[in-house]
C-alpha cells in the first residue's frame, strides 16, 4: 500500500534514495525493488528492526536489484552529508512534528541538484473531522500534533527551496475506516463495525479493481492523504 506514486517521483535503478521516517518500510522496499540504493531511516527502533527483517528476507530473492541499509535516526538530526540523495520521501511525518519547516529545509539540503522529493500528510478534512468526533485523536503519545492546509504545506515546501511540480491524493478507502474508529472508540480496534470495515479494507488493497476504483473515485471524494511532489533547482 503505497502513498507515493513512484513513476511520478521517477524512481529508477541506481539512484540514491532516502525514506525519511520510513515506518514499516513500504516505500523503502518499493524503491529497493526498483533497483535504487536505499537508505531507510526511522526514529522508532522497533520499526527499524521490522524493516531490517523484511529487507533481509527480500534480499534472498533473485528479482531484486537494489541495495539497502537501515539507519536508526532522526529526520531533524540526521547523519547524512548535503546532496547525498537523488530522491527523498517524507511520508506521513510532518504532522508529527512542531519543527516541520526545519525538517523540510534539512531534507532539501540532502537532495542533489535536480533531485526530487515527495512529502505526504493527512488531508485537512480527514484530520479535522476526526478531531471533532474524537478529541483524543490528537492526544495519543507520538500522534499527530497539527493539521496542515494544502496552502500552508505548499508554502513551507517552497520556503525550503523546492519547486512543486505535482499534487495528488491517496487512500480514499482509509478515511471511512478512521472515521469509524473515532466514532466507536480509537482504543477498541475489535469493535464489530470497525473490524468489519478493516476486513473490507484489507480485501480492497489486494484487489486491482478496487484499487482503480479508489484512485478514480474515492481519492477524489474523501482522500486520507495529500502528496506534494517537488524538485530541487
Q: What is the pLDDT along the chain (233 residues), one digit of tens a residue?
A: 899 999 999 999 999 999 999 999 999 999 999 999 999 999 989 999 988 988 887 666 656 578 899 999 888 888 899 999 999 999 999 998 889 999 999 999 999 999 999 999 999 999 999 888 887 887 766 678 889 999 999 999 999 999 999 999 999 999 999 999 889 887 777 788 999 999 999 999 899 999 999 999 999 999 999 999 999 99
Task: Indicate the angle between helix axes 100-110 and 150-159, nearest 10 degrees.
Answer: 50
- In the DSSP assignment, the letter for residue 14 is T
Note if the pTM is more than 0.85.
yes
Report yes or no: 98 and 145 within 8 Å, Cβ to Cβ.
yes
Helix (H, G, I), strand (E, B) or coil at 210: helix
Amino acid at each position: 500500500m503505497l502513498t507515493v506514486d513512484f513513476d511520478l517521483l521517477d524512481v529508477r535503478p541506481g539512484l540514491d534514495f532516502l525514506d525519511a521516517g520510513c515506518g514499516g518500510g513500504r516505500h523503502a522496499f518499493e524503491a529497493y525493488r526498483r533497483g535504487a540504493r536505499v537508505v531507510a531511516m526511522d526514529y522508532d527502533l522497533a520499526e527499524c528492526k521490522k524493516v531490517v527483517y523484511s529487507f533481509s528476507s527480500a534480499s534472498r530473492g533473485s528479482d531484486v536489484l537494489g541495495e539497502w541499509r537501515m539507519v536508526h535516526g532522526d529526520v531533524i538530526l540526521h547523519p547524512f552529508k548535503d546532496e547525498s540523495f537523488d530522491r527523498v520521501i517524507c511520508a506521513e511525518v510532518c504532522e508529527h512534528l512542531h519543527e516541520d519547516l526545519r525538517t523540510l529545509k534539512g531534507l532539501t539540503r540532502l537532495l542533489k541538484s535536480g533531485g526530487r522529493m515527495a512529502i505526504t500528510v493527512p488531508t485537512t478534512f480527514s484530520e479535522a473531522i476526526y478531531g471533532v468526533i474524537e478529541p483524543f485523536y490528537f492526544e495519543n503519545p507520538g500522534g499527530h500534533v497539527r493539521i496542515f492546509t494544502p496552502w500552508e504545506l505548499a508554502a513551507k515546501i517552497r520556503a525550503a527551496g523546492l519547486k512543486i511540480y505535482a499534487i495528488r491524493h491517496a487512500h480514499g478507502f482509509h478515511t471511512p475506516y478512521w472515521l469509524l474508529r473515532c466514532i466507536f472508540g480509537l482504543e477498541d480496534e475489535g469493535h464489530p463495525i470497525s473490524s468489519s470495515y478493516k476486513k473490507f479494507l484489507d480485501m480492497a488493497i489486494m484487489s486491482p479493481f478496487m484499487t482503480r476504483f479508489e484512485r478514480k473515485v474515492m481519492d477524489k471524494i474523501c482522500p486520507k492523504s495529500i502528496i506534494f511532489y517537488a524538485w530541487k533547482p
